[in-house]
Every structure is written in structure tokens, then in C-alpha cells.
Amino acid sequence: MYNSYAHWKNNIEIDESKTGGDSFSGELSFGTSGIRGIMGIGPNRINEYVIARACKGFAMQLTEDGAGSVALTYDSRINSQKYARICAEVFAANGIKAHITQQLAPTPLLAYAVRRLGVGGGVAVTASHNPKEYNGFKVYGRDGSQISGGYAEAVSARIKALDYFGIKKADFERELQEKNVLYFPQSVYLNYIKEVK
């Protein structure tokens, strides 16, 4: 099984002291528009492998939808910027242009940016109200709202079919230079604040 301890141990160097009792007892499920959980090692935790796998599944769905671009935001949680950049690298490696915020952003900014930029969907790296040990991956559709119903089930099915390892990623800085990763224009922030007021 892809989520077994042995499978992870064979693919990455695991620090035994950092694995919790249920780190390998199952895997985080794609629930209310995404996944969230305690950060740590294993399939039942949020980490770079779980994030990259989820992102790849969404990238596959966007490709089927004919969407060539996506928006990404992140909050002030531990590892949020790191995970958002991993998402940008996965999207770029899958031929999807990634528009990413250059600064911390409230989750509603993503909903606004998806519509403002005219992209096919979005990802917010956040765990909302959960304690500081948590992080997550929230998926938004092209209308700027959290995905649900059959669409969420389709994305979830794609994620479940993937292994946690070997997810192709591009180089963030190189993709910035080649404009496959783009920072939000300042107008997105300014217009968002203006419209909120």
C-alpha cells in the first residue's frame, strides 16, 4: 500500500521521533473542499508529499477541464509559503500557469483573485481556525467558491489514485523567470481592499 510505513521509509529518511501514533494509521481524506490536518510525517499528516499529491490530482482535473491557469494564496501558518510554492512547482510541471501571492493573504482574497484573474481554479494553503500544528489545502473552482459535490469527488478520486512519491515538480525560480509562475499584480490586492470597503 502507498500509505504504509514501509513504503514511506523506503522513499524518505524518517526521523522516528517525529512520527505520531497515528501518522501511518490511514490517510487524510479530501473532505470539505480539501484536506487539512496536523503537520508531520506520513499519509495521515500534512507534509510536502501529501500537498504535492493533492496538487497533482487537482492539476489533472484542471487539465481535463481545459483550464490553463490557477491562483494560489497562503496564510501565516507554519510552512504555508513553502507548501504554496510546492503547489506552484507542481502546477507548472503539469503545464498550468500558477499565479501566486507574494505576501500573506486572507483566504477570501483567493476567491476574489480567481475571478479577477480569470483562472480555472485556486488553492489556498490554510487550515482556517484550527490550532497552529495544522495546515491544509483548500480547493476553489473557477467561480471563486469552494468546490463541492461531484466535482470534489472527482478531484478526490484523482488524488487517491496517485502515489505520494515521484510527483513531478518544476523549479520555482526558473518558472518565475519563464513566466509559468507569476506573482499577483498589485492591482489584485488594491482592488480587493477597495471592493471590501
Which grid coordinates are listed for 67?
483550464
Q: Which of 128, 145, 148, 187 is catalytic?
A: 128
Which grid coordinates are listed for 15?
526521523
* Catalytic (active site) residue 128: yes
Active-site positions? 128
